Structure 1
Amino acid sequence: MENLIERLTLQSEAFQESFNVLSRVRNLDELAKKFFQVLRGNLLVLNAVILYRRNENSSWTILFSKSNSDYDVNALPISDSVFSISEVDHDEFKLAVTHQQIDKAFIRIILGSKLDSSPYSQFDKMVLQFYLQQLDSAYQFFIARKKEKQLIFNLNHRVLQLNSLIDTGIEVARLQEGSQLLHLALERVLALTNASKGLLVVKQGRKVIDKIFFPFRFKSNEISISKHLITTEFCFAEKKYIFYLLEKESREGLIAFDATDQLLLDAFARQVHVSLENHYLYEQSLEKERIDKEISLAGDIQKKLIPAELPKIDGYDQCGINIPTKFIGGDYYDCIRLQDGRFMLIMADVSGKGVAAGLLVSTLHASVHAYVDGKFELPGLVQKLNSIIWNSSTLDKYITAFFAVLDPASGELESVNAGHNPIYILRSNKKLEELKTGGIPLGMMNIPFPYESSKATINPGDHVLLYTDGVTEAMNAEEEEYDDIRSLKKFLVAKNSSAAKDFITNLINDVNDFTGDTPQSDDITALYLTRNTD
């Protein structure tokens, strides 16, 4: 025993040196070659064959061979144990060792004769086991270093993929919707995942409206038979976009896609989705901007229908105001000087607001001005206007309106109320009268409805107020209406003034004071006429 320990002690320096040599190898072939050199230097081995087997189902691969014969090394059986040493009945080879590694791989070492032709002793086998342990440690070190390099490579590759994903996202975002964007999207996602080919299918319902191939057209049935395939999809604007990526390429050939590839594809598809959505929103904003400009222009044109300055009427003072809720309002007022010296007063309110209401206002304005150039009877004129508005509007659109013809000299006022709210006459004695006689709103029914007119006399000191329901129905934060709380009639009686402009200003201020910060919900329009006492 002491002799054995002494001999092993003498080998310790050789053990250390051999490990230093084995731990610096760069591949398995070099490891096998260096291990043979260790055995030759310490056990005087002349020949050897070193083989490697990845697992139980794979074939043996020769890593190193120094042999003078064609001995079939694959014929040697593998032991079920992790480690085995057995004698070999062969002229050149004498000893076979099989060692299972930590990663379940096998290394087989077949040793030839020794330099002095002596048989392998028990001490030789013991020393061999020490070197095999070093081989195992060196193999583990090699595997760990290989995994470390692979990990670093994978991390660098992931960083590169992430940077490419960001750069590609920026590039895709700059493109406009269409085949250019989709072609680039498919090309870039193939580059990100190392896929050899891809297909982007665009569907609308069950119908395929587009197919984009890259880098070349291939048969669609390749998708169903491909062993290496990943896919993702998203929906936008009633269309479905489906990505198919096939056959990932690597140094080893075609391999399966991994989870990271699927994540990259999903992330990239989201970028394409966002890009399509952003482009759509951008186009929508441009369209909205264009429409807003057109509406603003239409609003400017419509404002010209409202008189910027009312005509002067001798012995009278008048003032009007129109505050629309939108660019284009649905209220209209006017005062037209007739050829016979009389004046026509108009107050109208189209149901609804916006462009459709504005078009009806324009129609009413043009029709009135066309018919008042000649002689007319007021009820007959209103009946014609009813027919015109009916033919110019949809069923849900109509106009409540008030028409009056004033003879300034006599003060006679003939009026027709076409479904409009009552028009007030405030007498000089504070008595309030309402003008309601007329008929149905314009455009409500396509029948020759007979409109009736009424007559009143505007005396010195009397006041006439024409208005739309935007005044009486103006609401505050509690959703209470102005006419229910403060009453337009009471305001007219209490705040009437010989100066028409002052009255209109005070009325609007009172309405604004009532509504506060509540947004205006309807057009506000009023026309105030007073006959001077002088």
Structure 2
Amino acid sequence: VEEFEGDPTYWDRFFTTTMDSLEYLFNVTSASFLMYNESEKAFILSHTIGQMPQVKRVSAGDSLVQLCQIVKSTIHQSLFYTDEMIKPFDDVLGLVKNNSIEVILPCFDQSGKLIGILFIGPHKKGRPYTFNEIEFMELYRVKFNNALVNSLQIEEVKSKQIGEHDNLVVSAIKNSIIPRQMPYIDHIRISSFFMNNSNLGGEFFNAKVLHKNALAFLISDCSYSGVDAAVLALELYAAFESLSPIYDTPEKIMQLLNWVVCTSKFTERYATSFCFTFNSEALSLKYINAAFNPLIIYEIQNDSFIELDTKGIPIGIEKDFIYESKEYVVKGPCIGCIYSNGITGAVNSTGQPYSIGRIKDLIRLHNSESPALIIRRISSDIDTYTSNTAVKEDISIIIFRIE
């Protein structure tokens, strides 16, 4: 086990070392091993020598599994005729005979749970295995069982260490890039809400003052891929924070970010994004949507909601893609809202998803309040709605007010 630890081909080499020796130890024509897979609740073919077996999957509830858990040692074909405890398992005998299985070697973990089944095929000389050979197979079973358990323990520890490390990395990146407070310029105030629910998420949003009369905003979803998503979000954060005043349109910003992601040496991921720039003199909002959710605008005087959207692919897919913006000219007090997909993944105790309509209702009812107060109301409403259920995805919501 220690010899191969850390080798990406470890399991192949493990089975080659432990199982392939059966051929010369016992002159077997074939052997196959089925290992338990927790996610599939079944024993799945993991390694074979000789002829490819017909049995490639055995469900956890199969009578073969029940038999192995009862006997807990080597089971050879003759026992189906002589052992009163095994005789009732006629269906297993049929499986054994139809698939040329002479011996069954069950493997268990420390708690006694069945974790693998090793099938031994016929002897090369076509004769039954002798009593001494069966005894030696039991010794082999114990040795193979111990090696298997040790290997699984090492794999579990390593997976846990990697998982814990990845969680720490993702958490550290999120804490460093999610803003505590949003900047502002004349005529616009912004407030944000971020709910950190996932160790896999890579959401990012921020606003940046470009100059006295111009502000840029970006929100991105880097998909749920753990460290890769977090690293991509970190790259977007660094690029966005480094914007100079010449990047005063969403076209310039998105082209820069798209180039950064497409040429990245650290990740091959992509990100859906929405970017807008606001000019306080012209009361103009220019925007680009790269496959993100649309920006919702509530026009207070008209008591109406509109969606600001454009056609665009996620950044990081096509380096030469040309993003085209649209413009919204503010004609009266309005409230803007943009949100990540995590909000629609939040459900109540009956499984009903949280709807954007609830956010719109809160905006309409409290349209005289500041973005910070509206954000608090939305946050409280989400908490109440999902009080009895776990929210598994990150949630980002941004509210701004222009007047």
Q: Same fold (TM over 0.5)?
A: yes
Of 379, 392, 417, 2:251 maps to 379
Aligned to 1:474: 346
Secondary structure in 2 aligned to 1:482?
coil
Contact 1:296 1:328 survives alignment (8 Å) = no
Query: Which of 462, 473, 476 is residue 334 of structure 2 equivalent to?
Result: 462
Match of 1:425? Answer: 297
1:442 matched to 2:306: no
Deviation at residue 205 of structure 1 after TM alignment: 8.7
Corresponding residue of 2:207:
335
5 Å-filtered alignment, 1:118-197, equals 177=2
Question: Of 183, 187, 198, which aligns to 1:311?
Answer: 183
CA contact (8 A) 2:232 2:267 kept: no
The 8 Å contact of residues 200 and 226 in structure 2, kept in 1 or not, is answered as: yes
Aligned equivalent of 1:345, options 186, 195, 217: 217
Q: What corresponds to 2:372 in structure 1?
A: 501
From 355, 360, 382, give the equivalent of 1:483.
355
Shift of 1:476: 3.0
* Larger Cα-atom Rg: 1
In 2, Cα distance between the equivalents of 1:369 and 1:489? Answer: 31
431 and 258 in structure 1: CA distance in 2 versus 1, 3 angstrom threshold: closer
1:398-425 CA-partner distances (Å, limit 9, x unpaired): 3221111123355332222222212122
* CA distance, structure 2, for counterparts of residue 267 and residue 305 of structure 1: 57
**Compared CA separation, residues 282 and 450, structure 1 to 2 (3 A):** closer
- Which residue does 1:517 correspond to in 2? 388
- Aligned match of 2:172: 300
- Alignment coverage as a number of residue pairs: 304
- Structure 1 residues 416, 393: CA separation in 2 closer, same or farther (over 3 Å shift)? farther
Partner residue of 1:411? 283
d(CA) in 1 for partners of 2:245, 2:138: 72
- Counterparts in 2 of 1:393 and 1:453: CA distance versus 1, 3 Å: farther
Task: Please name the residue that 1:266 is paired with.
Answer: 138
Describe the SS at the equivalent of 1:439.
coil
Partner of 1:338, secondary structure, is strand
Aligned to 1:24: none
Question: How far apart, CA to CA, are the structure 1 residues paired with 2:15 and 2:309?
Answer: 63
**Shift in CA distance, 473/291, structure 1 to aligned 2, threshold 3 Å:** closer
**C-alpha spacing 1:397/1:286, structure 2 compared with 1 (3 Å):** closer
Contact 1:316–1:529 under 8 Å retained in 2: yes
Cα distance in 1, alignment partners of residues 358 and 374 from structure 2:
15
* 1:300–1:369 distance in 2 versus 1, CA, 3 Å: same
**Whole-Å Cα distance in 1 between the matches of residues 16 and 104 of structure 2?**
14
Q: Find the aligned partners of 1:203 and 1:428 in 2 and give their Cα distance.
A: 72
CA distance in 2 between partners of 1:315 and 1:206 (Å)? 74
Q: CA deviation at 1:240?
A: 8.3
Q: CA deviation at 1:427?
A: 2.3
CA distance, structure 2, for counterparts of residue 316 and residue 355 of structure 1: 34
Give how far 1:525 is off: 0.2
Aligned partner of 1:492 in structure 2 is 363
Give 1:274 deviation, angstroms: 4.3
Question: TM-score, structure 2 length as denominator?
Answer: 0.61
- Flag the 1:322–1:274 CA change in 2: closer, same or farther, 3 A: farther
Aligned to 2:91: none
Contact 2:170/2:226 (8 A) holds in 1: no
Q: Contact 2:278–2:285 at 8 Å: present in 1 too?
A: yes
Q: Is the 8 A contact 1:322 1:331 kept in 2?
A: no
What secondary structure, in the 3-state scheme, does the structure 2 residue paired with 1:318 have? strand
Structure 1: how far apart are the matches of 2:336 and 2:397? 11
> Secondary structure of 2:242's match?
helix
Per the alignment, do residues 269 and 449 of structure 1 end up closer, same or farther by CA in structure 2, a change over 3 Å counting? same
Q: 1:450: Cα distance to partner?
A: 4.0
What is the DSSP-based 3-state SS (H/G/I as helix, E as strand, rest coil) of the residue aligned with 1:309? coil
Do the aligned partners of residues 456 and 522 (structure 1) sit closer, same or farther apart at CA in structure 2, a change above 3 Å counting? farther
Q: Residue 355 of structure 1 is aligned with which of 227, 251, 261?
A: 227
Identical-pair percentage: 20
| Cα distance in 2, alignment partners of residues 491 and 202 from structure 1 | 61
CA contact (8 A) 1:404 1:416 kept: yes
TM-score by length of 1: 0.48
Asked if structure 2 preserves the Cα contact closer than 8 Å seen for 1:319 and 1:529, the reply is: yes
**Change over 3 Å in CA distance of 1:502–1:377 after alignment to 2:** closer
Report the Cα distance in structure 2 between the residues aligned to 1:283 and 1:206, rounded to whole angstroms: 19
Change in 2 beyond 3 A, CA 1:442/1:393 = farther
Give secondary structure in 2 for the equivalent of 1:440.
coil
Kindly indicate whether the alpha-carbon contact (under 8 Å) linking 1:500 and 1:529 is maintained by their aligned counterparts in 2: yes
Task: Give distance in 2, aligned partners of 1:372 and 1:458.
Answer: 29
**Do the aligned partners of residues 351 and 232 (structure 1) sit closer, same or farther apart at CA in structure 2, a change above 3 Å counting?**
closer
> Residue 374 and residue 513 in structure 1: after superposition, are their counterparts in 2 closer, same or farther (change >3 A)?
same
The 2-side partners of 1:400 and 1:283 are apart by 35
Cα deviation for residue 267 of structure 1 reads: 7.4
CA shift, 1:455, in A, is 3.0
Q: Say if 1:379 and 1:453, in contact at 8 Å, map to a contact too.
A: no
Which residue matches 2:61? none
- Which runs of 5 or more structure 1 residues have no equivalent in the other structure? 1-175, 180-200, 212-219, 225-230, 243-255
Per-residue deviation, 1:395? 12
Give, in whole Å, the separation in 1 of the partners of 2:17 and 2:158.
25
Structure 2's unaligned 5+ residue stretches are 5-13, 28-102, 109-114, 121-129
Contact 1:473 1:483 in 2 (8 A): no
Whether the 8 Å CA contact 2:362–2:377 is kept in 1: the answer is no
Shift of 1:480: 2.8
**Which of the numbers 240, 245, 254 marks the counterpart of 1:368?**
240
| Secondary structure of 1:300 counterpart | helix
Q: 1:347, 1:476 → 2: CA distance?
A: 26
CA distance in 2, matches of 1:177, 1:512: 49
CA distance in 2: counterparts of 1:360 and 1:395, whole angstroms: 7
Alpha-carbon shift at residue 376 of structure 1 (Å): 4.5
Distance 1:202 1:343 in 2: 61
Q: Is the Cα–Cα contact under 8 Å of residues 178 and 204 in structure 2 kept in the other structure?
A: yes
- 2 CA distance for matches of 1:373 and 1:238? 63
Tell me the equivalent position of 1:529.
Answer: 400
Shift of 1:309: 2.1
SS in 1 for 2:224: coil
CA RMSD of aligned residues (A): 4.3
